Chain A
Amino acid sequence: MEPVIIISILSLAALACLVLNRLWAIECVSVGAAVGVFIAAVSLSLSVSTQPQPPIASSLFFSVDSLAAIISLLIGAVGLAAAFYSVFYLRAEMAKGIIGFHRVKQYFILFNLFLLAMFFAVMVNNPILMWIAIESTTLSTVFLISFYDKPTALEAAWKYLIINSTGLLLGFFGTLLYFTSVHSTSGNTLISWDMLMANAANLNPLIAKIAFIFVLIGYGTKVGFAPMHTWLPDAHSKAPAPISALLSGVLLNIALFAVLRFKLLTDAVAGHAFSEWLLISFGLVSIIIAALIMLTQQNYKRLLAYSSIENMGIAVLGFGVGGIGVFAAITHIIYHALVKPALFFLAGNIFLKYSSTKIANIRGIISALPVTAGLFLAAFFAVTGTPPFGIFFTKVYILSACMGTNLFAGLIALFAFALVFIGFFRQVIAMMFGEKPAEMPVGEINRLLIAPPLLLLAAALALSFYLPPFLSELITQALGKYSL
């Protein structure tokens, strides 16, 4: 029931934004839809956590497992924060004359369609429909990335469109190959994940391996795995702050979720060693490349984007090493999905104040934006894995799992974590301290722009110490399904 409610609310909200011509009405509809969708996502997670495994919340088109429920909850939470933040962020940009009403209207139509595509991708029962939904996330966000209609934004959006479309076509090819296990039932039947899993024994192991390589490259492009990551820093740095928050915080996880679903199928016929080796390799390469680039980064939004590549690398490394690494990877996804959007919102506040994303132009944030500065520092410590934030524990668990199975990989990861901390810290300190421009007034642009990042950070901190029983149950169920 909840999947239908979520899809209906977001479809109606997009339609309403299309026909409404009052700014306040469009804002109310979008925030209202985000609230409704968040409540439905919570309800969905609660019902999934209390039902026996498998299948859960299953219907002709939808089937939500525990990991899908966790990701739905994250989309709902970050979507609500982004909707609320968007209202005041876009108003500030309108006041500065950067955008007009029609841009805001276009923004909220695409925003709702983007949320719709993301929810559909995680809840749908069929791999091809999931592919269509993930491709739709590309199509709905491409105009949000080129939102400011500047040459750099256009370039970033074109790169995003072409690289992701190509990647997803390769993912589609890989998906088709998995269907060789159900030759006899294809045709007019909608082949579900469960059907593919039930027929996994009919899949040729060599085809499964080749298919997984295509899926990993295809959907991995969307996750931002190095070396297919080149679109990500451009797109995330050029999009408006709330869209960057959604792209980094939740969209990457959805593509990773697709990879994990295919990993289950591959492991069932080809053993887990093959996919494990590939995930560890992509994870390590992503962490190292991100760490090295972060050392010399000159743009703070790109810095955050590279941090997302690093964190996706950490998560996939956790799934690759298995054991406690899988538990750490799932919780890492949750913490990162809460902390990274907070960082992008705070980056939005900095941009509104300084009108620049270049680190060299940003000095004295502590004096100019004291609350934003304090939260940014806290979020920086959270995302780099400083205690007491949860990412510290997830990194420790993943490292210990790595050391147990592959000492060399563990040492490389440890070295890269240190590099990331040094690189990130250097840039953050440079922006926080020093003299703010003399003519710049002290104080936040709008206090309401503080609420979404504050709440997300508070949630990340609270979840570092206490996991509510339903979330704990969902993680346990996901662990049972996705661990080796």
Chain B
Amino acid sequence: MELLSSHFLAVTIFLTIIFSHIVKRNIIIVTAYGIQSSAIVLLLFRSFLETKSLAMLFIVILVAAIKVFLAIRFFVGFVKKYEAGLSSSAYLNLPLTLIVVAALSTFAHSRLFMPLTTIIPGNTALLSLSIAGMLISLLLMINRKGILSQIIGVLSLENAIVEFGLFAGLEQSPVLQIGIMFNILVWLIITAVFSSMIYRHFGTLEAAAMKNLKE
């Protein structure tokens, strides 16, 4: 059961988001996202164990199917198809990136967010970690020049919000969760199509190469 400990899973999610900023190889970023999504699935599975609700079990299976299997399969295919072994460069160098990550983590633990981190007083540390995860995911999207990093940044932000919702006791009804997962699935499909269109037109997967709209 230690594997299902809230703290262990929350720290895993947080570290995988930070890890995505540090590593250079795309396949490792994808693996980090896979571990992060698996941690979310395990958090949802904990909710199932508590509620014994079949609808919740269905959600767990659905999230695992979309975020862990489908998304990872898409990303691995993406890396192989476009031979995008090395991740794109970032606007900030590594030491600066780590300084900003540290600053964002501190900011997430500041008094400003106290009304949010005390929604469930026993989960203050976990909720602070979730907020830090959101901010660092936003940084991933802004700082990295590659479209794979931007996609994983958006999905990590979504994971961090789901994590916050779970720790704050704000789980939505199964109907809504299915709707949200359907949206994510469509979003993934669209980004997959767009990635190939971008590669076809620009010959690269660098978002920074798209500079035609400067008027």
Interface presence of A12 (CB below 8 A): no
By a CB distance below 8 angstroms, the chain A residues around B176 are 126, 128-129, 132, 190
Residues of A115-133 contacting chain B, CB below 8 A = 126, 128-129, 132
Number of A-B residue pairs, CB cutoff 8 Å, is 111
Say yes or no: B190 contacts A139, CB within 8 Å: yes
Tell me if B154 and A166 are in contact (CB < 8 A).
Answer: yes
**Are A154 and B197 interface neighbours, CB within 8 A?**
yes
Assembly CA distance A180 to B170 (angstroms): 7
Interface of A is mostly: helix
Set of chain A residues within 8 Å of B150, measured between Cβ atoms: 162
Q: Is A136 an interface residue (CB 8 A)?
A: yes
Q: Is B72 an interface residue (CB 8 A)?
A: no
Q: When the two chains form their complex, are residues A132 and B183 in contact, meaning their CB atoms are under 8 A apart?
A: yes
State whether A189 and B173 are in contact (beta carbons under 8 Å apart), knowing that A151-B210, A158-B147, A173-B161 are contacts in the complex: yes
Partner of A158, one of B172, B183, B198: B198
CB-contacts of A153-177 with B (<8 A): 154-159, 161-162, 165-166, 169, 172-173, 176-177
Least CB distance from B171 to A in Å reads 7
A residues within 8 A CB of B115? Answer: 204, 206-207, 210
Provide the residues of chain A in CB contact with B179, threshold 8 Å.
128-129, 132
Interface residues of B in 169-215 (CB under 8 A from A): 169-176, 179-180, 182-183, 186-187, 190-191, 194, 197-198, 201-202, 207, 210-213, 215
Which among A151, A173, A188, A207 is the interface contact of B119 at CB below 8 angstroms?
A207
Q: Is the interface of B mostly helix, strand, loop or mixed?
A: helix
A136 to B171, CA, bound (A): 21
**What is the minimal beta-carbon distance from B52 to any residue of chain A, in angstroms?**
13
Indicate whether A149 reaches chain B with its CB closer than 8 angstroms.
Answer: yes
Give Cα distance in the complex from A149 to B175, angstroms. 36
Distance (whole angstroms) from the CB of A422 to the closest CB of chain B? 20
Within 8 A of A (CB), among B138-172: 138, 141, 147, 150, 154, 157-158, 161, 164-165, 168-172
Chain B proximity mask over A286-322: 1 for CB below 8 Å, otherwise 0: 0000000000011100100000000000000000000
Known contacts A132-B180, A162-B141; 16 additional CB pairs below 8 A are: A128-B179, A129-B176, A139-B186, A139-B190, A142-B190, A151-B201, A152-B212, A155-B213, A165-B187, A176-B161, A179-B170, A187-B171, A189-B173, A207-B115, A210-B115, A297-B215
Q: Which residues of chain B have a CB within 8 Å of any CB of chain A?
A: 55, 113, 115-116, 119, 134, 138, 141, 147, 150, 154, 157-158, 161, 164-165, 168-176, 179-180, 182-183, 186-187, 190-191, 194, 197-198, 201-202, 207, 210-213, 215
Of the A-B pairs whose beta carbons lie under 8 Å apart in the complex, a sample of 26, sorted by A's number, is A126-B176, A129-B176, A132-B180, A136-B183, A139-B186, A142-B194, A143-B190, A146-B194, A151-B210, A155-B212, A155-B213, A158-B147, A158-B194, A158-B207, A159-B213, A162-B141, A169-B158, A173-B161, A176-B164, A176-B165, A183-B170, A186-B169, A186-B173, A187-B171, A204-B115, A210-B116
